[in-house]
Chain A
Amino acid sequence: MQQLKQLVLTQPIWLFVIAITIFFSFGSPHFLDVQNFKNILVQTSTIGLIALGMTFVMINGNIDLSVGAVVALSASLAVGLQSEVGILPAVVVALAAGIGLGFVNGMIVWKTGVDAFIVTLGAMIGVRGLVFLYTQEQSFFATNFAYADFGMSAVGPLPTLAIIFLGFAALMHWILTSTIHGRNTYAVGGNREAAINAGIKVGPHMVVNFMIVGFFAALAGVTLSTQMGAATPNLGRDFELWTITAVVLGGTKLAGGSGSVIGTLGGVLAIGILRNGMNLMQVPAFYVLVILGVILIAVLFIDRQVGRKGAQELRT
């Protein structure tokens, strides 16, 4: 009972995930299929991967609005270059582009002192320009079927993309909870001045986290393009909004200093299960937008109420 209360207080989103899982298993006979759960994992892997990196940046007290544009850039590079240089080098270039743009964002945030919201808002607009410049407004198709086959492939019982997502989630959870970098992530977000005074190299630390989210956005671009066997210049529009929604649903605070990969995983799954379940119940996709918006605001409200109660308990 105590553990359940602890779960509700620290990870309310998982309670919600369990609730909608039960709801949809009654609502649709196909929902509880093993195959459907594989689908949900693959569908959520794109936003999920970006959200892993975004969690670090947001715990830092920063934000990255440019991830959607980076998804488009990396997908275009990975698909566009592979006919000339081969699949693996193309993917490496795509990932390097994401890491490089993360480096640029991070350095600007560190050195200029301009708020990350503004820096990455600029990058969001500018990187989309890079995408259009590189693609000349064309969509690319993967001519080598091995690329699209990868998106459909499975290792044992699990789809490859799901394994990549869950594997990286485990890795990022470990980094956040068990390494110096993870501890510093909380310290910098909780109180930047104190972190500086404690001797943490705050600037390079933030740059690394921007490179991490750049890497994950690029990786999401690659995995998404393997699913489609193609890349379009408008890919990834609104992904930054979905990612932030998932991370906030997972309990990460915008102000920084708190959050967890487990929570983010819950936020990502909540969105994925809602979309999938309502799809199976043949509810038009439009309603999902409304419901997600309402849930996001409701979670924010409940979170604040719970936080207040917690603060009161501490006082007495």
Chain B
Amino acid sequence: MATDIKTAADHGAQLKALLAQQGILIAFIVFTIGFAFSSDRFMSADNLMTVLRQAAIIGTIAVGVTVVVIGGNLDLSVGSLLSFATVLVVDLHDKIGPAPAMLVMFVATMGIGAITGFLVGYLRLNSLIVTLGMLSAIQGIVLIYTGGQNVDIREQDGTWFAVFGRGYVFGIATPIVIFLGLAILMEIVLRRTSYGRKVFAVGGNPTAAVFSGINRSRMVFTTYLISAFAVGCAAVIMGSRVMGSQNNVGQGYELLVLAGVILGGTSLLGGSGSVLKTVLGVLILAIIQNALILMGYPYYTQWLVTWVVIILAVWLDVASKRGRLFTTFN
């Protein structure tokens, strides 16, 4: 009998550990099954592809932001940067051709990422305020560049640029390929390379990382380059899908992206997290959105559900580490 009880307790502990570590995966499965019962159309391959496709832009950016957050910083400038990159690539498309336009866009976007990275990494300024300042400054630059006008691509049918937003690779929509491809690549970089280990080290314990001979400034700097690169990829999808761009197309994206990252269990304190879990976090938000619309609720219902889901997810995470549900201080 005694062994039985012990085993039961072990099972309990195991279950707790599993919930704590893989909570987001379990939540993902629960949501998917739940929605599958609530609407016949939800589980169709077409619909699931639509969900992935809609999540691709936010998801691609979230991959980059996850790296920044693991490194112990925030990036609120990604929304403005998405506007900047999309406007630039769309505007230059007709002027200098698709390939040069993309090249210039990536250089310019990562150039801005380098400025942010320099301010946060080398000057050690608070990342929340720096990227808040960059958010405002970049939005201003976009408006100055466009003169407040929206931009578009004239010859929409004749350009191979369409492949990124509207095309397919081996039968899978290109945005999904870009999103998941970048996610898998970054997961490998973070888990399997010394670069990835250093990012975790810098975010987890900066002082210890410096004593281990890691160049903290350079590591933080590079996380912002990665974030800007991811924004560039998202801009290619966005520009190609819409074949045009409003000058505030990315407004508010920074917080939706952050919601996905947080839901994926990446700690805002840095040092822990996972790109693949961020993907699940973004997908959960996209699935909720999709299912609520299929069930006939107005689109803004998803915001109310998101509110509850985000706080519950982080609460469970915090509570499992604390060992109790509520805080004890008065």
A and B associate in one complex: yes
Per-residue CB contact flags for chain A residues 276-287 toward chain B (1 = under 8 Å, else 0) read 000000001111
Closest approach, in angstroms, between the C-beta of A60 and any C-beta of chain B?
14
The reply to whether B144 and A290 form a contact with Cβ atoms under 8 Å apart is yes
The reply to whether B137 and A289 form a contact with Cβ atoms under 8 Å apart is yes
Q: Could you tell me the distance between the alpha carbons of A115 and B136 in the complex, rounded to whole angstroms?
A: 25
Q: Could you tell me the distance between the alpha carbons of A125 and B305 in the complex, rounded to whole angstroms?
A: 9
Total A residues in contact with B, Cβ cutoff 8 Å? 53
From known contacts A290-B137, A297-B125, infer whether A113 and B322 are also in contact, taking CB-CB under 8 Å: yes
Per-residue CB contact flags for chain B residues 65-98 toward chain A (1 = under 8 Å, else 0) read 0000000000000000000000000000000000
Closest approach, in angstroms, between the C-beta of A289 and any C-beta of chain B?
3
Partner of A124, one of B143, B255, B304, B318: B255
**Chain B: which residue is nearest A290 at the CB level?**
B140
Q: Could you tell me the distance between the alpha carbons of A285 and B326 in the complex, rounded to whole angstroms?
A: 47
Per-residue CB contact flags for chain B residues 243-279 toward chain A (1 = under 8 Å, else 0) read 0000000011001101100100000100000000000
Q: Could you tell me the distance between the alpha carbons of A291 and B136 in the complex, rounded to whole angstroms?
A: 9
Partner of A202, one of B262, B315, B329: B329
Partner of A296, one of B132, B139, B268: B132
The reply to whether A111 and B326 form a contact with Cβ atoms under 8 Å apart is yes
The reply to whether A254 and B129 form a contact with Cβ atoms under 8 Å apart is yes
From known contacts A203-B329, A237-B252, A293-B134, infer whether A132 and B303 are also in contact, taking CB-CB under 8 Å: yes
The reply to whether B303 and A294 form a contact with Cβ atoms under 8 Å apart is no
Q: Is B43 an interface residue (CB 8 A)?
A: no
Q: Which one of B191-199, B215-223, B306-314 is at the interface?
A: B306-314
Interface residues of A in 163-213 (CB under 8 A from B): 196, 201-204
The reply to whether A129 and B304 form a contact with Cβ atoms under 8 Å apart is yes
Highest count of chain A CB atoms <10 Å: which of B126, B148, B302: B126
Partner of B318, one of A114, A284, A295: A114
Closest approach, in angstroms, between the C-beta of B95 and any C-beta of chain A?
21
From known contacts A108-B311, A114-B318, A122-B311, infer whether A293 and B140 are also in contact, taking CB-CB under 8 Å: yes
From known contacts A110-B327, A289-B136, infer whether A129 and B129 are also in contact, taking CB-CB under 8 Å: no
| B residues near A304, Cβ cutoff 8 Å | 124-125
**Chain B: which residue is nearest A202 at the CB level?**
B329
Q: Is A6 an interface residue (CB 8 A)?
A: no
Per-residue CB contact flags for chain B residues 291-311 toward chain A (1 = under 8 Å, else 0) read 000000010111110111011
The binding surface of chain B is classed by DSSP as helix
Closest approach, in angstroms, between the C-beta of A214 and any C-beta of chain B?
15
From known contacts A111-B327, A113-B322, A202-B330, infer whether A122 and B306 are also in contact, taking CB-CB under 8 Å: yes
Q: Could you tell me the distance between the alpha carbons of A119 and B322 in the complex, rounded to whole angstroms?
A: 18
Q: Is A142 an interface residue (CB 8 A)?
A: no
From known contacts A204-B330, A284-B144, A289-B137, infer whether A125 and B306 are also in contact, taking CB-CB under 8 Å: yes
Per-residue CB contact flags for chain B residues 130-154 toward chain A (1 = under 8 Å, else 0) read 1011111111110110001000000
Partner of B268, one of A118, A124, A132, A203: A118
The reply to whether A293 and B133 form a contact with Cβ atoms under 8 Å apart is yes
Q: Is A112 an interface residue (CB 8 A)?
A: yes
The reply to whether B130 and A297 form a contact with Cβ atoms under 8 Å apart is yes
- B contact residues, range: 35 or more
Q: Is A306 an interface residue (CB 8 A)?
A: no
| A residues near B132, Cβ cutoff 8 Å | 241, 244-245, 296
Closest approach, in angstroms, between the C-beta of A300 and any C-beta of chain B?
5
Q: Is B17 an interface residue (CB 8 A)?
A: no
Q: Could you tell me the distance between the alpha carbons of A164 and B211 in the complex, rounded to whole angstroms?
A: 54
The reply to whether A130 and B304 form a contact with Cβ atoms under 8 Å apart is yes
The reply to whether B144 and A287 form a contact with Cβ atoms under 8 Å apart is yes
**Chain B: which residue is nearest A284 at the CB level?**
B144
Q: Is B123 an interface residue (CB 8 A)?
A: yes
Per-residue CB contact flags for chain B residues 100-135 toward chain A (1 = under 8 Å, else 0) read 000000000000000000010001111011101111
**Chain A: which residue is nearest B255 at the CB level?**
A121
Closest approach, in angstroms, between the C-beta of B173 and any C-beta of chain A?
27
The reply to whether A128 and B255 form a contact with Cβ atoms under 8 Å apart is no
Closest approach, in angstroms, between the C-beta of B297 and any C-beta of chain A?
10
Q: Could you tell me the distance between the alpha carbons of A238 and B298 in the complex, rounded to whole angstroms?
A: 23
Q: Could you tell me the distance between the alpha carbons of A121 and B205 in the complex, rounded to whole angstroms?
A: 26
The reply to whether A125 and B135 form a contact with Cβ atoms under 8 Å apart is no
Closest approach, in angstroms, between the C-beta of A44 and any C-beta of chain B?
17
| B residues near A244, Cβ cutoff 8 Å | 132
Closest approach, in angstroms, between the C-beta of A282 and any C-beta of chain B?
15
The reply to whether A121 and B258 form a contact with Cβ atoms under 8 Å apart is yes
Q: Is B189 an interface residue (CB 8 A)?
A: no
The reply to whether B255 and A125 form a contact with Cβ atoms under 8 Å apart is yes
The reply to whether B315 and A112 form a contact with Cβ atoms under 8 Å apart is yes
Partner of A112, one of B129, B252, B318, B330: B318
The reply to whether B319 and A293 form a contact with Cβ atoms under 8 Å apart is no
The reply to whether A294 and B314 form a contact with Cβ atoms under 8 Å apart is no
| B residues near A133, Cβ cutoff 8 Å | 298, 300-301, 304
**Chain B: which residue is nearest A245 at the CB level?**
B132
- A interface list, Cβ under 8 A from B: 65, 108, 110-115, 117-119, 121-130, 132-133, 137, 196, 201-204, 237-238, 241, 244-245, 248, 254, 284-297, 300-301, 304
Rank and list the top 9 A-B pairs by shortest CB-CB distance, nearest first.
A126-B307, A293-B137, A289-B140, A129-B303, A290-B140, A286-B143, A132-B300, A296-B133, A293-B136
Given contacts A203-B330, A241-B132, A241-B135, 18 further A-B contacts (CB under 8 A): A112-B315, A112-B327, A113-B326, A113-B327, A114-B314, A114-B315, A118-B311, A121-B259, A122-B310, A132-B298, A203-B329, A245-B136, A254-B129, A286-B140, A292-B140, A293-B134, A295-B133, A301-B123
